[in-house]
Amino acid sequence: MKAVVYHQYGPPDLLKLEEVEKPVPSDNEVLIKIHAVSINGSDREALIGKPVYVRIGGLRKPGYPILGSDIAGSVEKAGKNVTQFQPGDEVFGEIPGYHGGFAEYACATENTLARKPTSLTFEQAAAIPQAGVIALRGIRDKGQVQPGQKVLINGAGGSAGSFAVQIAKLYGAEVTGVDNTYKLDYLRSLGADHVVDYTREDFTRSGKQYDLILDVIAHRSVFACARALKRGGTYFFAGGSVGIIFQILLIGPWIRRMTGKNLRMLLVPQNSSDLLSITKLCEAGKIVPVIDRRYPLSQVPEALRYVTEGRAKGKVVITVA
């Protein structure tokens, strides 16, 4: 099959379209013929090898040569222990381990997949999984957002942020979106009440405080983040620098005791029940999986360059078949 592969961490030019072995599903997996795969921040990170936790599978070079985790396609073959899906079923979801999707075929376990609703295209379905589930957990399920609360989303114009802004608005929050200059009108179009340009302003120094902060690109110290929280408020780290993870784990409990402000890690296991929850909101038209651009498989390097240059608003999708 054709796949886009890379053998060292670095810029998008290192990605090459090559012929590779078609994967063989284990007894617990299905083989999926991929129709569409979307790009997430996790692909950008695994491409460059930063933050350092993305090197867990391969310290000096990528542990797995194919990026891409969020796929939509049709089942070609089902392992003998698979009970929910059979050949011909249209499915979507995440590939365990966040890799293998920039290809014509991939294998996935059934617990990270769901049936693709007929009302959604393959591209729309591929745009939902990782980003939609991070946003749903961070804002609704763990964030427990309430009407009238002030919510800030750092990295609001990207994959997870675009869902998070919409979910926070849907549940009645007053939303501030933080991203680069070029994405501010886009954030307003998603419903953000206020926008902050991260290239000009540091939201932790504005004097404003929030009930809930979802940070998908964390790099500010826990003290700075605590400053931007109301007493009783919660800050969730969804992605960002490793140093901040240690700060949250080591200093977070102390900050909570002293100030009543919660600084927490948002853990988002790949699973189909959260995927179905966010997808229901998309089917009902309450949340839109925003697709900025589509590229063919042969142009994955261009697609990732577009994302890394800070231009992508919402999702970029690769149309495979």
Write out the residues near ligand NAP by the rule CB under 6 A: 40-42, 44-45, 130-131, 134, 154-155, 157-161, 178-180, 198, 216-217, 238-239, 266-268, 310
Strands (E), the chain: 2-5, 16-19, 29-38, 70-78, 90-94, 105-109, 113-115, 150-154, 174-179, 194-197, 210-215, 229-237, 262-265, 291-296, 315-319
- Tokens 């839109």 appear where? 288
CA nearest to 20, candidates 10, 7, 8, 39: 7
- Choose between 40 and 74: whose C-beta lies nearer to ligand NAP: 40
- Choose between 267 and 321: whose C-beta lies nearer to ligand NAP: 267
- Choose between 52 and 267: whose C-beta lies nearer to ligand NAP: 267
Q: Are 262 and 256 in contact (CB under 8 A)?
A: yes
CB of 86 to ligand NAP, least distance (A): 29
CB of 19 to ligand NAP, least distance (A): 29
CB of 21 to ligand NAP, least distance (A): 27
- Choose between 43 and 110: whose C-beta lies nearer to ligand NAP: 43
- Choose between 73 and 138: whose C-beta lies nearer to ligand NAP: 138
CA–CA distance, 175 with 193 (Å, rounded to integer): 5
SS3 state of residue 180: coil
CA–CA distance, 8 with 46 (Å, rounded to integer): 10
CB of 238 to ligand NAP, least distance (A): 4
CB of 81 to ligand NAP, least distance (A): 26
- Choose between 18 and 202: whose C-beta lies nearer to ligand NAP: 202
Strand partners, 17: 4
CB of 138 to ligand NAP, least distance (A): 8
Count CA atoms closer than 13 A to 50's CA, side-chain side: 9
